[in-house]
Structure 1
């Protein structure tokens, strides 16, 4: 097998990347260790935008235990009333701490009140009921759409100054809610599940917990049914799995320490809230859990997310702001967010923006995160019909390994109809070109996104950047990256791309494919491919591509121009 190399630049760029990793991020060195739990000033180091300081909630020195109100921690007794009475008592005293001691505490929904710190001591497990009647339908939002949904196990709406602290566990009992496909279980597991109750799909391939759950799954738009009245939703109530922790319209919120696991749908969902600190959490869902996201931050402002661990069934750290017309009508972006020092194991994406981003996402700083085995690393997704603007996103010092698709993926055709994909859905050219449509308020825009110091090893494709033909990705920078993959980088419909000091080691060439790229600057490109050249340029709309290497002879023989590309638009110097 022929191997195409640029050895000099591979070595020199690798040294430069290593040096920058050791010396820090965009401006100066990054502080990785915190000296004290209460001192988190380091979290504001090197932020590129005006970020207000997020103050922690403060509570009066008053505390009660749920045991004081008759709670029994045997995993059988229903402690719903004990939780409610303890929270009411502390609220009436002006606020303080509700303590959950070691034990197994079965309960229905916990309805929070302002000025309450719900504190789970070591060994405390709050296990939410599997009785669907405990969770009434409420008017809320899910997947960015206004709808009805079952009340969340942890319900905090319209509150101020609240916290969830300690080292205990919130368990959402999600398996009681989720339909299960026979193909995902062994024969003995399936037999046990069927014998436990529930109903089967007409073809016997899917188990549902109840007839109402089955009825909901037979409809279009399966996550948010297109129904009009609450009475219609009641007929499929058991299908409407709640997020486990719903924080809506709240101010000054702290989540510090607990494990949140096994949620019916999304795990933690702050919605239209502000001044939030999320730290030191363990967030877990089974790998097979449908919609089993870890954290979905939606239309929120002034947020810190750091020192957390995620291992979930869908996107891990995900930013949203509403979907389509509902999101645009709400018009509340997610903005001013710092994400640092997080680890993600399984998940569909490590750090994700979209696809419900119709209200916009802006001013986000992501640093010092590690993704191990996520389907995608840095994931940006939207589609025609969303609208909204994603801008001013700064990402650096990201390490990734065992990513089966791409460590970096921009897809503005999320949900289908993607151009330039082969029949297997891989991010490689197929010759099918998308046609532009008129730009309207429904056109999403991703721009001003900066990624620096990215290391990734072991995945399918080095990176994938795909905009819309009518709204290209704009001003996307990738600097100091080492990417080892089966295939190289693909860039489709992008304007203002900057690649600086990038190393691509791909088993199949080219190392970089550009299709209809405009105003592209490539400097210090190191490559090694099993077959094919370094850079292939396609598309009749290609304009102003500049390739800068220390020696023209190192790169010129390995640049291929496709049919329709004017030679004057691709300069090598």
Structure 2
């Protein structure tokens, strides 16, 4: 009996392995096609200007900086940067060692260069970070001054082989369910406050107060300086904020342990991010890797992200404030990047009210992210996301969806924590207004995913479908297959699925002009489940029909004529 079971298990494993291997070989063939530029409009690829610096070098030691990890070097470092800028620019050198500091302001024509074996450590003394008018999640808000910042500067850089540590563990609240028992015990023993439910740790009373209020940092005339001071600890800064700057280079440096987001370029032009490592613990609340917001002409390449929230994220402001700003993130190239833990590998949204367009993602690997390619928004945002291209994407061990389009984003973690219960949003038809977001014209090709909860999820709004999604050459191993809701003009060519639960392999609710050409799978109990009264022109050609026990079922008012299966 044992040998028979073992033999059967081995056969199942070999079948899966051969299926994925054949898919990999097919993907390699398709890769050659994609490299010819068919899936990327080559005339639209962004051109990004690099900064240029004088060779003159100023060492922060000359300005009194002390390498002992104890002396606060804020004045020395800022003096060196100001002096360098005033003399026409050059390099400000941070030598090897541990340099404790408060906020640092970058200035035009200065390259802040961190030598190998250097650690720029930002102090955990909150008094060193004054409250300033800033921006948080797409809205004007009062925040603590960011550890590194610049406003309206140009020709600036942070380069080298050193490490920049934001001291974020002193700022962040932490969920118990994201720690091991030993970690939770050590954290609570260090001080701070645990809530009544014993599920959340807060660094201070001011953090607790801020967390209990809705948008406490939102700038309004009824809030006094005293009020903001009473919730100061809750208003966590992003580690690096560059506001309205031009010709920027971030290269080689490790940015880690950010209080909130790690890297936040806002309304910048000509940004190059190259060979950086953005690192946060996976439990880091709002611990994004990079959030490119309302920027133009951006290159992110050869970089690694291992963080607590979204890895590489595109934003453009939130709701009415984002629409009023009216600056899309546009002309962006992301290539040769690796994302480990993150809520999403590559992400657009959910604060995308100013729009996003002409975004290109190529030759990236996502390992252990909650979602692979993640496009999210919600009613109230408005904005148009269009002309998005992704190709040659490898994924492994994706906790939720490999590819996700969702217009019902609810500001929760993609994967529910243990014991957490969620209900699907109520579908209701609302009027189309300026607050209605638009997703259109997405091209995704050559995706290989070894392990996900769901292969593809597309969920639009009843009043405005997601339009123009073109998926080609996908090989995905997942628990479940494809789920399409409220979408039109969706084309899926050469899709290969290996799923554990194939009832159904493809679920469609109110889909129009949905076309499958080349749908391959080892077996399926039910191939298509068509739901809702608003389905039309769903066509299937070159599918492995003989491997499905049942081809289709129709419910919730769906018409059987909406599906046409061709041999």
Change (3 A) 1:84 1:299: same
TM-superposed CA distance for 1:83, in Å, is 0.2
| SS, match of residue 66 in structure 2 | coil
Question: Does the aligned pair in 2 maintain the 1:251–1:276 contact within 8 Å?
Answer: yes
Of the candidates 117, 128, 133, which is equivalent to residue 122 of structure 2?
128
Matched, 1:238 2:238: no
Distance 1:250 1:349 in 2: 27
Matched with 1:415 is 410
Change (3 A) 1:569 1:259: same
Question: Does the aligned pair in 2 maintain the 1:125–1:171 contact within 8 Å?
Answer: yes
| SS, match of residue 403 in structure 1 | coil
Q: Which runs of 5+ in 1 are unaligned?
A: 31-45
Question: Does the aligned pair in 1 maintain the 2:46–2:333 contact within 8 Å?
Answer: no
Matched, 1:474 2:467: yes
Change (3 A) 1:191 1:433: closer
Change (3 A) 1:408 1:251: same
Change (3 A) 1:486 1:82: same
For these two proteins, the number of residue pairs brought into alignment is: 545
Of the candidates 273, 277, 281, which is equivalent to residue 278 of structure 1?
273
Of the candidates 487, 508, 512, which is equivalent to residue 506 of structure 2?
512
TM-superposed CA distance for 1:116, in Å, is 0.6
Which stretch of structure 1 is more off in the superposition, 167-176 or 85-94?
85-94
TM-superposed CA distance for 1:466, in Å, is 0.5
Cα deviation, 1:236-286, whole Å, max 9, x if unaligned, reads 111100000001100000001000000000000000011000010011001
Matched, 1:406 2:401: yes
Q: What does residue range 77-116 of structure 1 map to in structure 2 within 5 Å?
A: 77-116=71-110
Matched with 1:568 is 561
Matched, 1:305 2:263: no
| SS, match of residue 90 in structure 1 | helix
Matched with 2:541 is 548
Which stretch of structure 1 is more off in the superposition, 519-528 or 442-451?
519-528
TM-superposed CA distance for 1:195, in Å, is 4.8
Question: Does the aligned pair in 2 maintain the 1:505–1:511 contact within 8 Å?
Answer: no
Change (3 A) 1:122 1:24: farther
Distance 1:562 1:416 in 2: 31
Matched with 1:262 is 257
Change (3 A) 1:469 1:56: same
TM-superposed CA distance for 1:178, in Å, is 1.1
Which stretch of structure 1 is more off in the superposition, 243-252 or 217-226?
217-226
| SS, match of residue 25 in structure 1 | helix
Which stretch of structure 1 is more off in the superposition, 545-554 or 325-334?
545-554
**TM-score, L = length of structure 1:** 0.89
Change (3 A) 1:403 1:193: closer
Higher relative contact order (CA 8 A, sep 6+): 1
| SS, match of residue 52 in structure 2 | coil
Q: What does residue range 379-458 of structure 1 map to in structure 2 within 5 Å?
A: 379-415=374-410, 434-458=427-451
Distance 2:228 2:544 in 1: 66
Q: What does residue range 102-181 of structure 1 map to in structure 2 within 5 Å?
A: 102-181=96-175
Matched with 2:287 is 292
Change (3 A) 1:176 1:349: same
Change (3 A) 1:300 1:88: same
**Cα RMSD after superposing both structures:** 2.8
| SS, match of residue 56 in structure 1 | coil
Question: Does the aligned pair in 2 maintain the 1:438–1:470 contact within 8 Å?
Answer: yes
Question: Does the aligned pair in 2 maintain the 1:216–1:225 contact within 8 Å?
Answer: no
Q: Which runs of 5+ in 2 are unaligned?
A: 1-7
Matched with 1:56 is 50
Q: What does residue range 173-252 of structure 1 map to in structure 2 within 5 Å?
A: 173-185=167-179, 189-190=183-184, 192-201=186-195, 205-221=199-215, 228-231=222-225, 232-252=227-247
Change (3 A) 1:222 1:318: farther
TM-superposed CA distance for 1:458, in Å, is 1.2
Matched, 1:25 2:34: yes
Change (3 A) 1:369 1:383: same
Distance 1:454 1:446 in 2: 20
Cα deviation, 1:162-202, whole Å, max 9, x if unaligned, reads 00000100000001111234555566655554454434445
Change (3 A) 1:520 1:250: same
Of the candidates 487, 490, 495, which is equivalent to residue 480 of structure 2?
487
Question: Does the aligned pair in 1 maintain the 2:58–2:91 contact within 8 Å?
Answer: yes
Matched, 1:460 2:453: yes
